[in-house]
Structure 1
Amino acid sequence: MYGPKYTPGWSMMTDAERTEHRAKMQSFTHKADCQAYVAEHHAQMAERMKQQGGQPLAQPRRDPCANLKP
């Protein structure tokens, strides 16, 4: 699932970034690769939020990589 309820930083992403993020998330087959990308994405969105003077970025509601093989 993707969207403002599920993806931290969704509102700070452009439509192109959202499309790229969705495609990237759908491409993962290994949990470690997915988790590394999610951590990097979260850090980037947290930095954007900090630069804009917003509230701290929330953690994802669920682990988007949970169903992938180790």
Structure 2
Amino acid sequence: MKTSTLIKSISLATLLTAALSTSVLAQMGNGPGMGQGRGGMRFSQTNTPGWTLMTQQERTDHMAQMRAARTFEECTQLQDAQHQLMQERAKEKGVTLNVPRQNGCNMMKARGFFN
């Protein structure tokens, strides 16, 4: 009787630990901590002006370039060039370019992407 109660308690504790661990790992995101690793920054239609005006290859290239930036200055140069290109493309198509809610380079700097 005592042994079965002990086994049940150990099983329950193991299941609870596994469930809590899974929840914590899921919240951490993919890779070494959200925003702290090179892959933690997200780029999308909501934070990249001209996202809908780019091809999938241009989006992929832009994300790779931004993530590869080693300094804040390099990031802002890439970002400014991309914004200028998208502004020209938007003007050609007669559409208004969306304004990002936050500056991507500032977000990357705050999350420790640059030294």
Smaller-chain TM-score range?
0.7 to 0.9
Q: Higher relative contact order at CA 8 Å, sep ≥6: structure 1 or structure 2?
A: 1
Aligned residue number for residue 74 of structure 2? 33
Mind listing any 5+ residue stretches in structure 2 that lack a counterpart?
Answer: 1-41
Is 1:10 equivalent to 2:51 in the alignment? yes
- Higher Rg: 2
Give, in whole Å, the separation in 2 of the partners of 1:53 and 1:18. Answer: 21
What residue identity is the alignment partner of 2:66?
M
Aligned-pair CA distance for 1:60:
2.4
Q: Percent identity?
A: 33
Mind listing any 5+ residue stretches in structure 1 that lack a counterpart?
Answer: none
- TM-score norm. by structure 1 comes to 0.88
Give, in whole Å, the separation in 2 of the partners of 1:19 and 1:13. Answer: 10
1:47-58 → structure 2 map (5 Å cutoff): 47-55=88-96, 57-58=97-98
Structure that is richer in helix per residue: 2
Aligned-pair CA distance for 1:20:
0.3
Aligned residue number for residue 61 of structure 1? 101
Q: Could you say what the CA RMSD is over the residues aligned between the two structures, in angstroms?
A: 1.4
* Number of equivalences: 69
Alpha-carbon deviations, 1:12-54, whole Å to 9, x = none? 0000000000100100110011101101100000000000011
**Equivalent of 2:83, from 39, 42, 45?**
42
